């Protein structure tokens, strides 16, 4: 696995974890914020209802002695009707006044949890006493509840004794319920109901507005880091690695492969030849009387001879032939798809080139060539040794000649 892949995996995992933590935190915060916003709206609605009720109590003067009773004179009725008109454009929003003993049975506290809330207020078992607003969340709905406590004596004109109540009201609602209230008694609750679906929609919309820019920022940061990684780290590292690889695999004097790289390539070519059942030959040659060149003309001139020889041989090779310097003045060639006869033909061409080369300010030199062809079983070391022995046989035969070892090597 490359460094870039590892870096990107770590980066992606880090970003994914950061995104998960950020979105989880932000989602919770957005949900809290939108819930608080919905609560604020509900509180404003409840305060509006209280304001309407207060205004109606102060400015709507009912004549309770008249025979013709009008519900519009009752502050509670005016408040509920006004809030009903207000909430017509807001589905799910609702204002209600529910009591345990109502005059109008439509305002009866029927749901068990509402009755429990009222009883808790009446018994003092709730921490929210005396006009404090209580919040309840039930069935994906927010309820803001405020106790109705009798503080105004005008309420007793209708809800005290039946005998004192307006005759027109008794005819409409009867004389069995809605009476017997007492001062400072909690008789019911005012409630604003708000659906939480709106809160969820707002939360989801806000979360979407947050999520995609965050993903875009992470993507931009990911791309930027990769670009910086490429230009500031990988490119210099690749150049350094190429330089180190050249130093490790290239002969610094001639620019061709060194012995280490040659042996690695040797192994690969043997595997390819075995797989394809094709011939593979190796040609080794050594410069004749090279020591005399160094002794007579100096090592700088000897180095020049080695460089010129390497260039001369490279110019005569095929694209898949491999040339290496494996010793002081000893060179080797890997010849894929080449039989002994083909290797001998190449060696003869190289021998003649070297024999007739013209080196400016440098002494000409010849070479002794040894050839061995792989039998498909022997090791590279054994094959190279056979070629080397053939090269020494060429030197023993008078130099500037070619010897091919056509014997069969033993299986190693």
Instruction: Compute the distance between CA of residue 60 and CA of residue 42 in angstroms, rounded to an integer.
Output: 26
Task: Locate all alpha helices (DSSP H) within 298-399, ordered by sequence.
Answer: 299-314, 340-356, 380-396
Q: Are strands 367-373 and 280-287 parallel, antiparallel or unpaired?
A: antiparallel
Helix, strand or coil for residue 382?
helix
Instruction: Enumerate residues 6+ apart whose C-beta is below 8 A from 225.
Output: 11
Token pair 């260039």 is at which residue? 311
DSSP 165-209: S-HHHHHHH-SSSS----TT-EEEEEEEEEETHHHHHHHHHHHHH
Distance CA 137, CA 76 (A): 25
State the catalytic residues.
Answer: 329
409 in helix, strand or coil?
A: coil
Whether the CB-CB separation of 374 and 281 falls below 8 Å is answered with yes
Q: Identify the CA nearest to 384 among candidates 233, 265, 297.
A: 265
Query: For residues 247, 248, 250 and 252, what is the CA-based torsion angle, rounded to 10 degrees?
Result: 40
Distance CA 301, CA 320 (A): 31
Query: Hey, is 7 helix, strand or coil?
Result: helix
Taking the C-alpha atoms of residue 156 and residue 203, their distance in angstroms, rounded to an integer, is 46
Specify the DSSP class assigned to residue 110.
Answer: -
Q: Residue 22 burial by CB count (10 A; 0-12/13-18/19+): exposed, middle or buried?
A: middle
- Alpha-carbon torsion (114, 117, 121, 127), positive or negative: negative
H or E element that contains 75:
helix 75-86
């Amino acid at each position: 696995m490359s460094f870039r892949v590892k870096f990107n995996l770590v980066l992606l995992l880090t970003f994914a974890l950061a995104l998960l933590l950020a979105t989880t935190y932000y989602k919770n915060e957005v949900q809290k914020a939108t819930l608080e916003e919905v609560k604020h709206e509900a509180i404003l609605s409840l305060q509006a209802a209280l304001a309407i009720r207060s205004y109606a109590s102060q400015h709507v003067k009912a004549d309770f002695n008249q025979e013709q009773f009008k519900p519009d004179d009752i502050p509670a009725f005016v408040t509920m009707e006004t809030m009903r008109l207000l909430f017509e454009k807001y589905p799910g929003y609702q204002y209600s006044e529910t009591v345990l003993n109502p005059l109008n049975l439509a305002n009866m506290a029927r749901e068990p949890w509402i009755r429990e809330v009222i009883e808790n207020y009446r018994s003092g078992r709730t921490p929210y006493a005396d006009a404090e607003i209580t919040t309840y969340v039930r069935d994906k709905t927010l309820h803001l509840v405020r106790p109705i406590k009798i503080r105004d004596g005008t309420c007793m004109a209708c809800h005290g004794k039946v005998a004192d109540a307006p005759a027109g009201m008794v005819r409409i609602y009867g004389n069995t319920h809605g009476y017997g209230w007492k001062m400072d008694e909690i008789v019911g609750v005012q409630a604003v109901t708000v659906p939480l679906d709106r809160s969820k929609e707002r939360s989801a919309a806000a979360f979407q507005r947050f999520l995609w820019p965050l993903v875009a920022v992470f993507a931009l940061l990911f791309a930027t880091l990769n670009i910086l990684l490429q230009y500031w780290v990988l490119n210099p590292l690749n150049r350094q690695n190429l330089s180190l690889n050249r130093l490790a695999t290239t002969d610094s004097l001639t620019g061709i492969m060194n012995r280490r790289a040659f042996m690695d390539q040797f192994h690969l070519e043997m595997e390819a030849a075995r797989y394809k059942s094709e011939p593979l030959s190796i040609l080794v040659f050594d410069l004749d009387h090279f020591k005399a060149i160094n002794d007579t003309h100096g090592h700088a001139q000897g180095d020049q001879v080695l460089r010129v020889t390497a260039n001369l041989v490279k110019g005569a090779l095929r694209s898949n032939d491999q040339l290496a310097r494996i010793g002081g003045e000893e060179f080797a060639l890997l010849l894929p798809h080449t039989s002994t006869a083909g290797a001998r033909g190449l060696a003869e061409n190289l021998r003649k080139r070297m024999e007739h080369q013209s080196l400016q300010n440098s002494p000409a030199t010849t070479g002794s060539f040894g050839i061995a062809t792989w039998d498909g079983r022997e090791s590279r070391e054994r094959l190279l040794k056979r070629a080397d022995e053939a090269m020494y046989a060429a030197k023993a035969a008078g130099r500037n000649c070619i010897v091919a070892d056509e014997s069969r090597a033993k299986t190693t």
